[in-house]
Copies of this chain bind each other. A is one copy, B any other.
Amino acid sequence: MMAARSMTRTAVDPDPAAVGRHEPPVAVEVAVALLTLRQGRLAVLAVPAADEGGASGAVWQLPSGPWRTSANLDADGLAADVLDTSTGAKPFFLEQLRTYTGRAGRGAAVTIAYVAVIPEGTAIVGRSRAFALDDLDGMGFLPTVHERVVDDAVERLRSKLEYTTVATSLVSEPFTIPELRRVYEAVWGVPLHPANFRRKVLATPGFVSPAPETGDGGGVPDERRGPDLHLRGTAALLHPAMLRPQ
């Protein structure tokens, strides 16, 4: 579905020798806000901040890593890599948000921010933990920018739900229409009209496709009862869009 790390490497030509003569060092890092659902609530994955010597686990940060010239990765590739190493996640959706610049000590720091998404219930490896966004209010991330990255990531996701099929990347297959609706409700933070939501989703070509019967043995009739099951559709963009209420 959504193309992660699809960007072909582009040459950047300005003269790097001009920098680094008298200028203080510049640290370039990539930080990824990996969003998912936990108990039906929108959550972000965080990892323990390494800098904290003593009470490890008290301070958290986004999965991130320094961008080094020596590694043969552009920022998009590094973002995918950072996610894989720190959480084991292979996101369905990974997209650059924007870049923040600021000072750090006597040098400068550049943070290239990303947003990524994995389905609810995906197992997470490593020392990462999911925090529901509502619980996140008081708790600050160690690098202050990471809080901004989370805000921007949520806003980007909210907007992407409107005109893309990302929402299907937040549920695991097969899923029901109500489950998909709860994704929208969790991300947008508003209740949606079940009947109208269903009709809209089914009327949008390529959004979802009916799941084939789970014909196990062959003659055995389907065990399952309950709401209709669906798979992710083939479309990436929604026509018409699913606009937020109000």
Contact = CB atoms under 8 A, between A and B. Distances in A.
B105 A10 contact: no
A219 B19 CA distance: 65
Interface in A114-161: 142-145, 148
B101 A74 contact: yes
A189 interface: no
Interface stretch (A21-29, A165-173, A174-182, A196-204): A21-29
Nearest to A96: B98
A98 B100 contact: no
Interface stretch (A32-40, A65-73, A86-94, A209-217): A65-73
A14 interface: yes
B10 A144 contact: yes
A102 to B, nearest CB: 4
- Determine how many copies of this chain the complex contains: 2
A104 interface: yes
A152 to B, nearest CB: 11
A13 interface: yes
Contacts of A12: 100-104, 109-111, 143-145
A26 B27 CA distance: 8
A16 B75 contact: no
A13 B68 contact: no
A56 interface: no
Interface residues of A, number: 49
A57 interface: no
Contacts of A25: 16-17, 19-20
22 contacts: A9-B102, A11-B102, A12-B100, A12-B111, A13-B109, A13-B144, A14-B111, A15-B27, A16-B24, A16-B105, A16-B109, A18-B27, A19-B26, A20-B26, A23-B70, A24-B70, A28-B28, A28-B110, A69-B108, A74-B101, A75-B99, A75-B100
Contacts of A66: 14, 18-19
A75 B99 CA distance: 9
A22 to B, nearest CB: 8
A19 B10 contact: no
Nearest to A76: B101
A142 B109 CA distance: 27
A80 B144 CA distance: 24
A107 interface: yes
